[in-house]
Amino acid sequence: MGQPVVHFEVVGTEPEKLREFYGELFDWEFDTGAPVSDAVSEPGNYGFVVIGQFTDPEGNLIGVAGGA
């Protein structure tokens, strides 16, 4: 049996538009205020989402990031 996906990211130059697109497509809500957000992207430009099968104790996350 394979290993589960534990984290993936979608990165682009317009993260707000990416979050809007994927939010509408999959009904995702992004947390752009997580403490690690500023360390990995421009402030306010990194959004985490945790959904359905990704909510196991290992902390599987999806990240949408970007900036200049």
Pairing of strands 7-12, 61-66: parallel
pLDDT computed for residue 36 by the predictor = 66
Q: Position 38: which residue type?
A: D
Joined tokens for residue 46:
């990194």
The arrangement of strands across the sheet holding 7-12 comes to 7-12, 61-66, 47-49
Q: What is the pLDDT of residues 36-48, one digit of tens each?
A: 666 667 777 788 7
* Residues comprising the chain, all counted: 68
Class of domain 7-66: alpha beta
Q: Domain coordinates of the chain in residue numbers?
A: 7-66
Is residue 53 predicted with pLDDT exceeding 90? no
